[in-house]
Structure 1
Amino acid sequence: MRTVDDLADVRTGDKGDTLILAVFPRSEEYYELLTRELTVDAVATHFAPLVTGDVHRTDMPLVCGLVFELPGVLGGGVTGSPVLDGHGKCLSYHLLSMAVGEQI
């Protein structure tokens, strides 16, 4: 089984306590696979129990990208969170470690 890290790059950002994850697959084939595998439910489950609301996904086929918004994950955001990673930069690796696909 492969991971997201084998197929894509991930960038993170924040908006309040919402974690923003942008996934950029390295090929159109990987984009199609990750569009199927990285569903809202799959990503929400992968980040549970940190998520406090509905996860949203925006597909960006022209740039082969997927953008996820995960509310509550940052625990109050940059200025309100007691955690060391208020921006959520380390959380991109958590998504990169997610298993995807049977075989490629």
Structure 2
Amino acid sequence: MKLRELAHSRTGDKGNTLNVSVICYDGRDYGHLLQHVTPERVKAHLGDVVRGEVIRYELPLIGAMNFVLKEALGGGVTRSLAIDAHGKSVSSALMNLEVPAKD
């Protein structure tokens, strides 16, 4: 199943760093997503978009995770030639990540 079936996302940028949240629709899915939406999988899924480290911050009280993607904006908004220099489409791309269905 696609991650978008269990969660939604928002993004924000600062320089060449992008923050991407993963927010569960239902808090009961949080543990399942912690197992399957890891920094390694996020980086692999986004491919060449993320050239640096991926750090995950866990927010269990609100059923969310925040991923900090370093070197993800082609140098930053004022330096990038990308059509989406702010990286807003990255959240949509992440929602295509395949996760196993819950038992």
Flag whether TM exceeds 0.5 (same fold).
Answer: yes
Inter-partner Cα distance in structure 2 for 1:52 and 1:3: 24
Deviation of the 1:103 alpha carbon? 4.4
- Name the TM-score, length of structure 1 as normaliser: 0.92
Unaligned runs of 5+ in 1: none
Equivalences, count: 103
> SS state of the match for residue 4, structure 2?
helix
Is contact 2:58-2:64 (8 Å) kept?
Answer: yes
Deviation of the 1:22 alpha carbon? 0.7
> SS state of the match for residue 57, structure 1?
strand
Deviation of the 1:52 alpha carbon? 1.9
Unaligned runs of 5+ in 2: none
Aligned pairs (5 A) from 1:24-43: 24-43=23-42
Inter-partner Cα distance in structure 2 for 1:92 and 1:32: 20
Q: Say whether residues 1:67 and 2:66 are aligned partners.
A: yes
Give the aligned partner of residue 13 of structure 2: 14
RMSD (CA atoms): 1.2
Is contact 2:52-2:72 (8 Å) kept?
Answer: no
State, as a whole percentage, how many aligned pairs show the same letter: 37
Decide which structure has greater strand share: 1
Structure 1 segments (4+ residues) deviating >3 Å: none
